[in-house]
Amino acid sequence: MHSNEYESHDGLALARLLDQGEVTPAELLECAITLAQTRGAELNAICYERYDESRALARDWQPRGVFRGLPFLLKDSGLASRRFPSSIGSRLFNDTQYSVDATLTERFDAAGFLPFARSTVPELCMAPTTEALRNGGPTLNPRNRERSAGGSSGGAAAAVAAGIVPIAHGSDGGGSIRIPAACCGVYGLKPTRGRVPMGPLRGEGWGGLAADGVISRSVRDTAAAMDAISGYQAGNPYAAPPKDGSYLDALAQPFDRPLRIAVWRSAFDDIEIDPISLAAVEHAAGLCRDLGHEIIDAAPPQVDYAGFVGAHATILAANIVLATDTKLGALGRALRDDDLEPALRDGYELGKTLSAARYVDSINRFHAMGRALESAFDGVDLILTPALTRLPERLGELMLVGTLMDYRRKISRYATFLAAINASGQPAATLPLSWTDDNVPVATQIIGRFGREDLVLRLSAQLEAAAPWAARKTIFG
């Protein structure tokens, strides 16, 4: 199979070719590696390559799962894998080894994914752009090299948009699946809290904010992947409501009534939204009307958004201290000036001053946000918002400099509609339904009730059919 044909298919289409014997896992992997060595290198989106080892696995691959042997990327997020070290985008954590596989790593394997490398991230996955000093430069956006690829799953979104893989692992603790998907013009779903297990080494991330999932070019690939990786693991601290049947099968089911969809055209604390982002939401709302759904004008609930932003930074600071001190203990040395990027070094110092009461107060603020956001669903099925308050930011604008608290305040005015949904634990997805004349995506977010990925995915599939994005090609030198 030639690379041009490979990148023209989504994951399920390639899996069908594998199942029919028209192509082998080794042939698909060779296409992916070729693109990783060219486009991936150009974009600085790939790390921890295990090409020869993966080729050997592909030659002896036993077809399994829905994806049958599809090339895949694990995010460099610290997801435990015996095959792949991780840096979490940090010089301090470089080449961290694992003696076990995470439950999710095992589920990816059972689903038929064949990882051959990791995708790049910002340091400790704590930025909405992927410009880690550890990686020697920024990860570039294949749609526009001057703009951020997003973060923290920036390498994953760039690789999917560039055709290197049709689907890749992502994780989201404040928009880290949805931001890069929005920036790179692909599909990104953050699952309900507890839908995808985080064991066996931990039960939660960042006070319950973090969730693992995938980034893909097609909605159906995400639905199929979610079918494969969802499900409670004994001992998990959280449990999502059991799903009713297959997400993939649900995509083909017509709605038995028009959905009631609320549209937010204003932001928490009256944060400014660029007209181009508002126009994208209007376009999405118009598509929903054309599909027969009811659009309802609404506004975000009244919340202490500034207090939530401070709580988010507090929880990150606490996690910086725990991770850093654990690593330093293993290394047997003290923290050096160049171990962490400036904002995270400041976060480490902040974390050292935190009281137990402040930590508990931050968690309580998350829970208050969850109650407020679930109440916003009274009388509606889904909510539409801008994905970002403006176009994907230019490279250099969101690097980890200054104090952590100031940095998080800055991000809160850019990804305003995203981190709050991590606090609520609700499912949400970003869709690239609008584009500028120079091929920059302007995405819209769909938020669902807790546990209702099925509705988010079904409406996403309808909108994908109405305004398809997969055929938008990126030209490489």
- 380 dihedral zone (left: phi>0; alpha: psi -120 to 50; beta): beta
CA-angle at 311, arms to 309 and 315, nearest 5°: 120
Q: Tell me the Cα Rg of the chain.
A: 21
Buried b (16+ CB within 10 A) or exposed e, 296-332: eebebbebebeebbbbbbbbbbbbbbebbeebeeeee
User: Do residues 385 and 447 touch, judged by C-beta distance below 8 A?
Assistant: yes
**Distance between CA 70 and CA 92 in Å, rounded?**
32
- Is 153 one of the catalytic residues? no
> Which residue, among 105, 110, 116, has the nearest Cα to 58 in the 3D structure?
116
How many C-beta atoms surround the C-beta of residue 262 within 10 A?
A: 23
| Beta-strand pair 428-435/187-190 | antiparallel
Structure tokens at 325: 């001190």
In SS3 terms, 349-411 reads as HHHHHCCHHHHHHHHHHHHHHHHHHHHCCCCCCEEEEECCCCCCCECCCCCCCCCHHHHHHHH
- Is 171 one of the catalytic residues? no
Which among 81, 87, 148, 176 is annotated as catalytic?
A: 176
User: Do residues 428 and 178 touch, judged by C-beta distance below 8 A?
Assistant: yes
Structure tokens at 291: 């599909």
> Which residue, among 194, 182, 197, 235, has the nearest Cα to 453 in the 3D structure?
194
CA-angle at 366, arms to 319 and 460, nearest 5°: 100
- Is 152 one of the catalytic residues? yes
**Distance between CA 65 and CA 111 in Å, rounded?**
4
**Distance between CA 129 and CA 176 in Å, rounded?**
9
Which among 54, 75, 243, 412 is annotated as catalytic?
A: 75
Which among 81, 87, 148, 152 is annotated as catalytic?
A: 152
In SS3 terms, 413-434 reads as CCCCCCHHHHHHCCCEEEEEEE
N residues, the chain:
477
Active site residues: 75, 152, 176
